[in-house]
Chains A and B, each alone.
Chain A
Amino acid sequence: DIVMTQSPDSLAVSLGERATINCKSSQSVLYSSSNKNYLAWYQQKPGQPPKLLIYWASTREYGVPDRFSGSGSGTDFTLTISSLQAEDVAVYYCQQYYSTPLTFGGGTKVEIK
């Protein structure tokens, strides 16, 4: 199984400031023939299902604000919220879809400082 490790577990950021979440996979999720990283990011607010934010490590889902961006390759990935808004308070998860079993990181809780 590919183990996904997120850091930090939680972070508090002032409104308008940058939030950075890290995700590390236990093996590469870069598929060499396509040069694509099989890595997605989700946002989950209390009482709601996760919402897809980013796929292929850096492609923003339709309708997701451009303050959300994904980067990284191979085993190390980052989700950045460039200017934190109140509505961004949530738990964020990374997920690899390179191989089954599909696996998620443990989540990072983002709060307002």
Chain B
Amino acid sequence: QVQLQESGPGLVKPSQTLSLTCTVSGGSISSGSYYWSWIRQPAGKGLEWIGRVYTSGSTNYNPSLKSRVTISVDTSKNQFSLKLSSVTAADTAVYYCARDRGSQGDYFAYWGQGTLVTVSS
């Protein structure tokens, strides 16, 4: 059973870059054909898909964030990561990493527990 765990700083200053890592256990990130996604949720609000990286390393980003987002995969560490630049208070949210079910569908079958990132000076 695949498990995902987010990690990274809980506090980021405005204008800086938010960096998070998702560590995958219970299977190799490079096996199978899956999309590994980042999703965020501001307190009391809904879910926003940030983007995803495929097992091969190709990426798709939400156009609303595309200019500021980089998602990459590190197969040697069984991790994938998120970088969001030029953050503001509006980027304060719980950030989740998630995986789909590959050829069986791009819905999110596996989720991390989430990590709260606050943007504040």
Q: Could you tell me which A residues sit within 8 Å of B by CB distance?
A: 1, 38, 40, 42, 48-52, 55-56, 61, 93, 95, 97, 100-107
Contact = CB atoms under 8 A, between A and B. Distances in A.
Contacts of B101: 55
Contact of B46 (A40, A56, A97, A107): A107
Residue with the highest number of chain A CB atoms closer than 10 Å, among B61, B106, B111: B106
Interface in B87-118: 96, 98, 100-101, 105-109, 111-114
Contacts of A52: 107-109
Given A40-B105, A97-B106, 15 more contacts: A42-B108, A48-B113, A49-B98, A49-B112, A50-B47, A50-B108, A56-B105, A93-B46, A97-B105, A101-B63, A103-B49, A104-B46, A104-B47, A104-B49, A106-B46
Dominant secondary structure at the B interface:
loop
A5 to B, nearest CB: 11
A68 to B, nearest CB: 15
A1 B101 CA distance: 22
Contact of B107 (A55, A100, A101, A106): A55
A55 B46 CA distance: 19
B49 A38 contact: no
B107 A97 contact: yes
A98 to B, nearest CB: 9
Nearest to B65: A101
Contacts of A102: 37, 49, 106
A49 B111 contact: yes
Contacts of A100: 60, 62
16 contacts: A40-B108, A42-B108, A49-B96, A49-B112, A49-B114, A50-B108, A51-B111, A55-B101, A56-B105, A93-B46, A100-B62, A101-B60, A101-B63, A103-B49, A105-B46, A106-B46
B48 interface: yes
B46 A1 contact: no
A103 B46 CA distance: 10
